[in-house]
Amino acid sequence: MNSLEKWGWNASLAADFAANCSNEWIPARVLVEYRELYDVWTELGELKARISGRMRYMQTDTSEAPTVGDWVALEPRTDEGTGTIHRLSPRETALVRKEAGERTRAQVLAANVNTAFLLTSPNQDFNERRMERFLSLVYESGATPVLLVNKADLTEELDAWLLRASEGAPGVPVHGISALQGDGIAELEPYLQAGQTIVLLGSSGVGKSTLTNRLVGDQLLDTGGIREDDARGRHTTSHRQMVQLPSGALLIDT
């Protein structure tokens, strides 16, 4: 597996890039999105990037802007550690959330995802209606859903919660885990193969940052403690980002 393939590059993306991109451009994958600034990974290393004026002018919808997980065509300026994004490669999957307003807008949460971990917990966070919305989001994206009942260490009735989760998500794999304690994490290894992209979905405080830290093996993201009144976490991340796990899998925390 070459360095591009380790970040999810494949033959389909390569063929599209060869047919549509300038020889002065290189493939890059979006790691972090900060409004109009991006951190991207390339074979030359990690660079800061902005989209070109022409690309911005040609956009007709916010969903056409790069997001975490996207592959883009980048004109690098390695002496500055920066680059210009000229083109968005076709997305193989896209998690799209529709925002209501005067016009319904589509927000792309993450792109080119293979598996979506849907997190809930055995307390007030467990909500079948919310679970259905997340499942619909994932199925429409083309990714594969996996349901994780996190904070398993907080209940003595885990089997009952897992059964309830299974009944609410027929045919979807369900695992009970404790991201904080590490219980059940080994069950996730089959999904965490090199080059595979996984996204974490769930409500605020359900433990996405704690699970990210557990899988990375380091305190990468800040987390809060548990509020005693509702057993929920106190902190969420301020932006989406992609990190590479020790297994070689790529993880996006939304």
Q: Report all structural domains of the chain as residue ranges with CATH numbers, in order of start.
A: 5-88 (2.40.50.140), 113-253 (3.40.50.300)
Model confidence pLDDT, tens digit, residues 153-189:
999 999 999 999 999 999 999 999 999 999 999 999 9
Strand ranges in 8-143 using DSSP code E only, listed in sequence order: 26-34, 37-42, 45-51, 71-77, 82-88, 94-99, 105-111, 115-120
pLDDT at 36: 84
pLDDT at 238: 53
Closest CA to 143 of 172, 115, 169, 119: 115
Mean pLDDT, consecutive 10-residue stretches, the chain (254 aa), reads: 89 98 97 93 96 94 94 97 98 88 75 98 91 96 97 93 94 97 97 97 93 85 45 49 96 91
Q: What does the alpha-carbon distance between residue 71 and residue 25 come to, in Å, rounded to a whole number? A: 12
pLDDT at 101: 58
Q: What does the alpha-carbon distance between residue 210 and residue 163 come to, in Å, rounded to a whole number? A: 24
Query: Chain centroid to CA 227: how far?
Result: 26
